[in-house]
A and B are shown apart, each in its own frame.
Chain A
Amino acid sequence: MDKFRMIFQFFQSNQESFMNGICGIMALASTQMYSAFDFNCPCLPHYNLAYGLGILLVPPFILFLLGFVLNNNISMLAEEWRRPQGQRGKDPAVLRYMFCSMAQRAMIAPAVWVSVTLLDGKCITCAFCTSVPVESLGNVSHLHLSQGDIQRVLARIPCKEIYNGQQLIANEVAIRYLCCISQALGWCFVLLMTTLAFLVRSLRPCFSQAAFLKSRYWSHYIDIERKLFDETCAEHARSFAKVCIQQFFEGMSTDLVAARCHLPRKAPADAGEAAEKLLGITDQGTMNMALKSWHRCKPPLDLHSPALPTGNGWAGEGQPPTHSSAPRRETAAYYSWV
Chain B
Amino acid sequence: MDRFRMIFQYFQSNSESVMNGICGLLALASVKMYTSFDFSCPCLPQYNMAYGLGIMFVPPIILFLCGLILNRQSLVMLEEWRRPPGRRTKDLAVIRYMCSSIMQRAMVAPVVWIIVTLLDGKCLICAFSGSMDPEKFVGFANVSTVQVQQLLAKVPCKDDELMRNNTSHKAVSRYLRCWSQALGWSILLILIIAAFLARWLRPCFNQATLLQARHWSNYIDIEKKIFEEACCEHSRLFAHKCILHFFESMRQEIKLHSFSLPREGEQAEGEEDLLRGITDQDQVNKLLKTWYYEKPPLDVS
Contacts and interface: CB of A to CB of B under 8 A. Distances in A.
A202 B264 contact: no
Contacts of B276: 236
Contact of B38 (A121, A197, A236, A300): A121
Given A176-B42, A224-B235, A236-B274, A88 B280 contact: no
Interface string A296-338: 0000111110000000000101011111101011100000000
Given A87-B297, A205-B75, A228-B236, A180 B265 contact: no
Given A2-B1, A229-B291, A329 B266 contact: yes
A160 to B, nearest CB: 13
Contacts of A172: 157, 159-160
Nearest to A246: B267
A317 B286 CA distance: 10
Contact of B271 (A173, A243, A301): A243
Contacts of B81: 205
Interface stretch (B58-66, B114-122, B131-139, B192-200): B58-66
A324 B260 CA distance: 7
Nearest to A202: B78
A111 B265 CA distance: 61
A134 B288 CA distance: 70
Interface in A205-253: 205-206, 209, 217, 220-221, 224-225, 228-229, 232-233, 235-236, 238-240, 242-243
B68 A315 contact: no
A191 B66 CA distance: 10
A221 B42 contact: no
Contacts, number: 185
Interface residues of B, number: 76
Contact of B58 (A191, A224, A229): A191
A198 B51 contact: no
Contacts of B283: 321
Contacts of B263: 304, 324, 328, 330
A69 B199 CA distance: 50
Nearest to B68: A198
A73 to B, nearest CB: 15
Nearest to A231: B243
B47 interface: yes
Given A176-B43, A202-B74, A197 B69 contact: yes
A3 B9 CA distance: 12
Interface in B56-104: 58-59, 61-62, 65-66, 68-69, 74-75, 78-79, 81-83
Given A172-B157, A184-B51, A190-B62, A239 B44 contact: no
Interface residues of A, number: 68
A120 B68 CA distance: 27
Given A202-B78, A205-B79, A209-B79, A239 B282 contact: no
Contact of A120 (B38, B291, B296): B38
15 contacts: A6-B5, A83-B293, A170-B161, A173-B44, A176-B157, A187-B55, A187-B59, A194-B62, A194-B65, A202-B75, A205-B78, A205-B81, A243-B267, A243-B271, A301-B280
Given A229-B239, A236-B275, 14 more contacts: A6-B5, A137-B44, A180-B51, A183-B51, A202-B68, A202-B75, A205-B75, A217-B231, A224-B236, A229-B243, A233-B288, A243-B275, A303-B275, A328-B265
Interface of B: 1, 4-5, 8, 12, 37-38, 40-44, 47, 50-51, 54-55, 58-59, 61-62, 65-66, 68-69, 74-75, 78-79, 81-83, 157, 159-161, 231-232, 235-236, 238-240, 242-243, 247, 258-261, 263-267, 271, 274-276, 278-285, 288, 291-298
